[in-house]
Amino acid sequence: MLKAAALGGLGLGGLGLAGCSEERPSPPRRPPTSPKPATSPKPTGPADWNALERGLDGRLVRPSDSSYKEARRLYIPRYDRVRPAGIAYCETPQDVSECVAFATVKRMPVAVRCGGHSYAGWSTGTGLVIDVSPMDAVKRDGDRATVGAGTRLIDLYDKLADDGVGVPSGTCPTVGVAGLTLGGGLGVTSRAYGLSCDVLEAVQLVTADGRVLTCDAQQSPDLFWACRGGGGGNFGVAVSFTFRTHEVGDVAPFSMRWPWRKAADVVRGWQRWAPAAPGEVWTSLHLDTGPDEGTPSIEVAGLALDGASGHMERLTAAIGADPASSTAQSRPYMDAMKFMGGCAGQSVEQCHGEGALPGQRPGGAFPRTEYSGKSHIAYRPLPDEAIRALLSRFDKGNDVQNRSVLMDAMGAAIARTGPGDTAFPHRKGLFCVQYLAPDDAWLSATHGAMEPYLGGAAYVNYIDAGLKDWAHAYYGPNLDRLRKVKAAHDPGRLFRFPQAV
Ligand SMILES: Cc1cc2nc3c(=O)[nH]c(=O)nc-3n(C[C@H](O)[C@H](O)[C@H](O)COP(=O)(O)OP(=O)(O)OC[C@H]3O[C@@H](n4cnc5c(N)ncnc54)[C@H](O)[C@@H]3O)c2cc1C
């Protein structure tokens, strides 16, 4: 997950078509388009942009629209230059079906968008952007929650916390539940409750032929499996998710800092302790160049569900050196999620991006940030030589501000699911390493320096346009099955981008 501090302050610094359940638009608001078998694209759809606009419940933004400049933006500003032909804010699954039919007839490229946080900018393009943001209802029913695919993480946490429950998900408040869940979903409670895709019970998906399918363990099980870690934008447009929930109470965020001269000890001790620690505690090791030029920093940020002090003591013992400073404070769950997400003390409204478009709020204050990311999944601890190589990336001459390496502990509940049980394959990973920087050169050099020690496994949610052999890196042994699901449900490859399955 992303270090919130780098984005405005942490405060602490996842075969076979039988059994598909299909739902039709009801009642039809436009001439109904007849569904076809999954192996052939829908031949009819709106004839032009005006017809598409008339057929949508939601809003269609075109280049002549005053809100086009804002509507085309993603989270990362470098993609502001991309100019879609149209952005459809879909209010219903039927809106999505209409967009799919239009794009098929027009042979127009499609990009699917939720929170717009794709590192590679693959939720926009020059054709039609299908934005699911207006579908953001969150409804709790017993120990299940049905969540509109356009929901932002801050709203997921907020609406469920009101009922004293939660779903394990990511940290950044403006990230979309769709992109995150479809790629897996690592979060601060994942060691206790699993990845977001692990608590997914069902997903409603609009497929390339325009049908609205409910996919779960019984219905369309192949698609359901693929949607649990197979990556966003590959198999259809998700319109709603049903998650199992867990109860929430007070939790304790904590932070521990050591002087840089102790950095090798901290990395060595943390990587042995953190993946094997109880599921009640999650930690992330942060190496940063900023904010004081020339003074790299090392910090462990964590969240404990059962009190922080015992975990902090055991981590200190594993490292063999007391921290120079540390903080820990028990907080209500929602406060802690804001704190971990970098909007501590702010209102839920403020934890959104600013604006009037779906997904934004007029009083939103969460900033966009310019950077690129790369990742590794570490399957074994770093040897001393690798630790030296990692730390040297923060030496003088490599000390431009805002360069970070974040190591998020895995293990516990994440490892209790098998590599092939969902499409997310990295169940035996010890920790996820994320490299973040505004400059690609440092990022590539740092990632390259660690490759001899960490190999080629990577996290699809930290999608990386420059990654060689990306398909095996993201999907490992699940790749062949994912390709079969893709061929069965999107044979014409309507949903495509440079790293589409
Ligand atoms: C600031 C920041 C913090 C992050 N923190 C975490 C974290 O804590 N944990 C973690 O696991 N990851 C984290 N990530 C990574 C994040 O999970 C991915 O970037 C994710 O893909 C973002 O989803 P999105 O909906 O916001 O982005 P988008 O750019 O809208 O979508 C990402 C991908 O999913 C596809 N997609 C979007 N909506 C749908 C849909 N409805 N149906 C089908 N496909 C769809 C898009 O086409 C695109 O390929 C973070 C990323 C950033 C930038």
CA of 367 to the centre of ligand 1 (A): 16
Query: Which CATH number belongs to the domain containing residue 318 in this structure?
Result: 3.40.462.20
If one residue of 72, 75, 92, 113 were mutated to test the ligand 1 pocket, choosing by the most ligand atoms within 8 A of its CB, it would be: 113
Residues 181 and 109 in one domain: no
Show the tokens assigned to 334: 């929602």
* Cα 179 to averaged position of ligand 1 atoms, centre (Å): 3
Whose CA is closest to atom 4 on ligand 1?
A: 2
Q: Provide the pLDDT for residue 27.
A: 34
- For residue 101, the model assigns a pLDDT of 97
Measured in Å, residue 140 CA sits from the centre of ligand 1 at 23
Same domain, 52 and 196: no
Dist. CA 183 → ligand 1 center (Å) = 8
Question: Which of these three, 214, 231, 248, is where a domain ends?
Answer: 248
Rounded-to-integer distance, Cα 368 and Cα 470, Å = 26
Is 319 contained in some domain?
yes
pLDDT at 44: 74
Is the pLDDT score of 10 beyond 90?
no
pLDDT single digits (tens) 71-113: 999 999 999 999 999 999 999 999 999 999 999 999 999 999 9
Distance CA 487, CA 227 (A): 15
Nearest ligand 1 atom to the CA of 497 is: 49
Q: Which domain holds residue 367?
A: 250-470
Residue 35 pLDDT more than 90? Answer: no
Q: Which two tokens stand for residue 357?
A: 């478009």
The enclosing domain of 33 has a CATH number of 3.30.43.10
Are residues 243 and 156 part of one domain? yes
Proportion of the chain above pLDDT 90, given as a percent: 86
What's the gap in Å between 309 CA and the centre of ligand 1?
33
362 and 447 in a single domain? The answer is yes
The answer to whether residue 115 scores a pLDDT higher than 90 is: yes
Is 148 inside any structural domain?
yes
More confident residue, 18 or 212: 212
Q: Is a pLDDT exceeding 70 seen at residue 387?
A: yes
> At which of 110, 131, 152 does a domain end?
131
Query: If you take atom 35 of ligand 1, which residue's CA is the nearest one?
Result: 232
Q: Are residues 143 and 165 in the same domain?
A: yes
Which residue has the CA at smallest separation from atom 31 of ligand 1?
179
Residues 424 and 400 placed together within one structural domain of the fold: yes
Over the chain, what is the mean pLDDT?
Answer: 91
- Domain assignment present for residue 210? The answer is yes
Split into its structural domains, the chain has a count of 3
Residue nearest to atom 52 of ligand 1 (CA): 117
Res 2 pLDDT > 90: no
Share above pLDDT 70 across residues of the chain, in percent, rounded to a whole number: 91
Distance 311 CA to ligand 1 centre (A): 31
Output the residue whose Cα is nearest ligand 1's atom 6. Answer: 1
* Shortest-distance atom of ligand 1 to CA 132: 41
Residue 124 predicted with pLDDT over 80: yes
pLDDT of residue 119: 96
Say if 495 falls within a structural domain: no
Same domain, 367 and 397: yes
Q: Are residues 53 and 115 in the same domain?
A: yes
Distance (Å, whole) CA 186 – CA 171: 9
Residue 1: per-residue pLDDT: 55
On the question of pLDDT at 208 being above 60, the answer is yes
pLDDT in tens, 130-174: 999 999 999 999 999 999 999 999 999 999 999 999 999 999 999
Residue 175 Cα, ligand 1 centroid: separation in angstroms?
6
Whether 486 is in a domain gets the answer no
Å from CA of 117 to ligand 1 middle: 5
Q: What is the pLDDT of residue 432?
A: 98
pLDDT at 4 over 50: no
- Give the Å distance between the CA of 313 and the centre of ligand 1: 35
In this predicted structure, the answer to whether residue 25 has a pLDDT above a threshold of 50 is: no
Whether residue 126 is found in the same domain as residue 222: no
pLDDT of residue 398: 76
Distance 138 CA to ligand 1 centre (A): 18
**CA 419/CA 58 separation, integer angstroms:** 39
Q: Atom 17 (ligand 1): residue with closest C-alpha?
A: 180
Tell me the residue ranges of DSSP E strands in 19-143.
21-23, 59-61, 86-89, 110-113, 128-131, 138-141
Q: How far is the CA of 380 from the centre of ligand 1 (A)?
A: 27
Query: Which segments of 10-123 does DSSP mark as H helices, in order?
Result: 49-55, 68-71, 93-106
Distance from residue 323's CA to the centre of ligand 1 (Å): 34
Q: Please state the atom number of ligand 1 nearest to the C-alpha of residue 121.
A: 29
Tell me, in angstroms, the distance from the centre of ligand 1 to residue 152's CA. 10
pLDDT band at 37 (very low <50, low <70, confident <90, very high): very low
Same domain, 80 and 146: no
pLDDT tens-digit readout, 237-280: 999 999 999 999 999 999 999 999 999 999 999 999 999 999 99
Q: What is the mean pLDDT of residues 319-342?
A: 97
Q: Which of 10, 117, 235, 424 to mutate to test the pocket of ligand 1 (most atoms within 8 A of CB)?
A: 117
In a domain? residue 405: yes
The answer to whether residues 281 and 430 belong to one domain is yes
From start to end of 398-494, where are the E strands? Answer: 404-409, 431-437
Would 328 be classed as within a structural domain? yes
Q: pLDDT grade, residue 400 (50/70/90)?
A: confident
Ligand 1, closest atom to CA 188?
8
| Helical spans, DSSP H, in 320-424 | 333-340, 384-392
Please indicate, yes or no, if residue 385 is contained in any of the structural domains: yes
Closest-lying ligand 1 atom to the alpha carbon of residue 185: 11
Q: Which of 7, 80, 118 to mutate for ligand 1's pocket (most ligand atoms within 8 Å of CB)?
A: 118
Residue linked to tokens 């369309």: 220
Centroid of ligand 1 to alpha carbon of 427 (angstroms): 20
Residue finishing a domain among 131, 156, 174: 131
Ligand 1 site residues (CB inside 6 A) read 1-2, 7, 75, 111-119, 122-123, 132, 149, 170-172, 175-176, 178-180, 182-187, 232-233, 237-238, 461
Q: Which stretches of 333-456 are assigned E, i.e. beta strand?
A: 372-378, 404-409, 431-437
In this structure, the residue with its CA closest to atom 21 of ligand 1 is 179
H or E segment and range at residue 448: helix 440-454
Mean pLDDT of 288-302: 85
244 lies in the same domain as 256: no
Q: Atom of ligand 1 at shortest distance to CA of 74?
A: 29
Residue 52 has pLDDT above 50, yes or no: yes
Closest CA to 424 of 102, 250, 199: 199
CATH code of the domain in which 199 resides: 3.30.465.10
Rg of the chain, C-alpha, whole Å:
22
Banded pLDDT at 292 (limits 50, 70, 90)? low
DSSP secondary-structure letter at 361? Answer: B
Between 294 and 322, where is the model more confident? Answer: 322
